[in-house]
């Protein structure tokens, strides 16, 4: 049985794929997608593409490229992202990268606020099920689709890797998933989702990058832009160049995290007020985990705050595990 866990984020496309009973392969691509004719000529004409060419409703798309590489094609940063052509292009790229002719079960996630909307959940499920023309000569069939709240993937991945999962079995675990567009959280109590204590905040990584770019502009007189900071982080670079000068971005990212992080931490605390008892453990997953760790620790000083290894893959790995 072929299983694909796919996490189509605003910044990265993450995949975990493979047969049930084996260990999954994982893959990450930047989540930029645009019609091929919107790419700069030099890039489009390069012999060696570092992105995938797919089709969406007959239109050729480039997918898996840095989000700032397309011209006259704006990045989709809104709640209706799953219904956009960019999202579909990334989905097709994911199907292609999974190297499977047929996918028996695909598991994906939605931000918590969207997951709680039955209509949006069903729409995504319908959109992803069936036969997909991913390139002019390639069709891939998805037999069944399961949609889950995004942070649940991170929880499942962590539980699977624990030496003793029984610690989590009777605990109340607050799973916080800071992504590029939103920070999502769920409370899992005794292995069940507590819907009333789940939530989403838009004070996410993109806001931190905007704030860092603003502070950099104040000090150095030019706007490096959110996407350049995003690319630098993706490539593990600590500096960006502005007006010929190399600038260390860590200080600015930390300052921005210190400003934005507490806003989310306050929302988290408010969200848990509906519960009779607080959380026992906080689990931080997702690509933006590093930005929010200190604020979350300060918000819950008496709780153990855990981050899995390679948190950016946690959701996709967990999705795969749920399907297998």
Partner 1 sequence: MLAVSGGWEAEMGYLKIVVKIPDTIYPELVADLQRVQLRDRAERVRVLAMLGLRTLEPMQRVHLDNNSDRDSSCQEQRQEQQLTAKRMIRSLTESL
146 bridge partner residues: 107
CA distance 110 to 293: 22
Binding range to partner 1, per CB under 8 A, among 63-71, 146-154, 247-255, 263-271: 146-154
Q: Which of residues 157-186 bind partner 1 (CB under 8 A)?
A: 159-160, 162-166, 168-169
Which is closer to partner 1, CB of 155 or CB of 300? 155
When the beta carbons of 45 and 192 are compared against partner 1, the nearer one is 192
Q: How far is the CB of 162 from partner 1 (least distance, A)?
A: 7
Q: Which of 152, 272, 299, 312 binds partner 1 (CB under 8 A)?
A: 152
Nearest to 7 by CA among 118, 78, 75, 97: 97
Q: Residue 236 is encoded by which pair of tokens?
A: 């593990």
Residue 148 is a binding residue for partner 1 (CB under 8 A): yes
Number of residues that bind partner 1 (CB under 8 A): 21
- Helix then strand then coil, % of the chain, to nearest 5: 40, 30, 30
What is the C-alpha to C-alpha distance for residues 232 and 70, in angstroms, rounded to an integer? 18
The residue (of 26 and 43) whose beta carbon lies closer to partner 1 is 26
Within 8 A by CB and 6+ apart from 47, the residues are: none
Q: Exactly one of 39, 112, 188, 299 binds partner 1 (CB under 8 A); which one? A: 188
**Closest approach of partner 1 to the CB of residue 181, in Å:** 22
Query: Which CB, 168 or 291, lies closer to partner 1?
Result: 168
Applying CB under 8 A, which part among 130-138, 190-198, 295-303, 309-317 lies near partner 1? 190-198
* 148 vs 265 by CB, closer to partner 1: 148
Binding mask 304-323 for partner 1 (x = CB under 8 A): -----------------xx-
Tokens 């600015």 -> residue: 252
Find out whether 8 and 110 touch, Cβ atoms under 8 Å: no
In our burial notation (b when 16+ CB lie closer than 10 A, e otherwise), range 199-212 reads: bbbebbbbbbbebb
Query: Residue 148 or 253: which CB sits closer to partner 1?
Result: 148
Separation between Cα atoms, residue 179 and residue 114, nearest integer Å = 14
By C-beta, is 196 or 223 nearer to partner 1? Answer: 196
**Tokens for 226?**
């959110």
Q: Which residue has the tokens 């502070």?
A: 215
Nearest-approach distance from CB 282 to partner 1, in angstroms: 18
Which DSSP string corresponds to 207-239?
A: HHHHHHHHHHHHHHSS---HHHHHHHHHTT--E
Q: How far is the CB of 20 from partner 1 (least distance, A)?
A: 12
Residues contributing to the site for partner 1 (CB under 8 A): 146, 148-149, 152, 155-156, 159-160, 162-166, 168-169, 188, 191-193, 321-322
């Amino acid at each position: 049985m072929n299983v694909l866990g796919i996490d189509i984020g605003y910044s990265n496309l993450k995949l975990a794929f493979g047969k049930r009973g084996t260990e999954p392969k994982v893959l990450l691509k930047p989540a930029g997608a645009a019609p091929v004719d919107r790419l700069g000529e030099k890039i489009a004409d390069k012999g060696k593409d570092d992105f995938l060419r797919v089709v969406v409703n007959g239109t050729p798309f480039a997918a898996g490229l840095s989000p700032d590489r397309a011209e006259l094609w704006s990045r989709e940063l809104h709640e209706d992202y799953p219904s956009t052509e960019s999202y579909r292009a990334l989905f097709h790229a994911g199907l292609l990268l999974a190297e499977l002719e047929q996918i028996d079960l695909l598991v994906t996630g939605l931000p918590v606020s969207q997951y709680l909307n039955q209509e949006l959940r069903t729409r995504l499920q319908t959109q992803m099920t069936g036969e997909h023309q991913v390139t002019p000569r390639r069709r891939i069939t998805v037999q069944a689709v399961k949609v889950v709240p995004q942070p649940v993937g991170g929880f499942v991945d962590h539980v699977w890797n624990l030496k003793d999962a029984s610690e989590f079995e009777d605990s109340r675990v607050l799973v916080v998933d800071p992504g590029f567009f939103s920070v999502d959280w769920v409370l899992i109590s005794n292995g069940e989702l507590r819907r009333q204590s789940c939530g989403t905040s838009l004070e996410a990584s993109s806001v931190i990058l905007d704030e860092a770019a603003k502070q950099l502009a104040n000090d150095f007189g030019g706007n490096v832009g959110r996407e350049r900071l995003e690319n630098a982080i993706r490539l593990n670079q600590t500096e960006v160049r502005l007006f010929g000068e190399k600038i260390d971005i860590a200080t600015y990212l930390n300052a921005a995290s210190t400003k934005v992080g507490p806003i989310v931490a306050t929302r988290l605390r408010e969200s848990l007020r509906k519960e009779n008892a607080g959380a026992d453990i906080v689990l931080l997953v997702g690509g933006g985990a590093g930005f929010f760790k200190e604020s979350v620790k300060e918000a819950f000083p008496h709780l153990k705050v855990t981050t899995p290894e390679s948190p950016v893959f946690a959701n996709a790995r967990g999705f795969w595990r749920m399907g297998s």
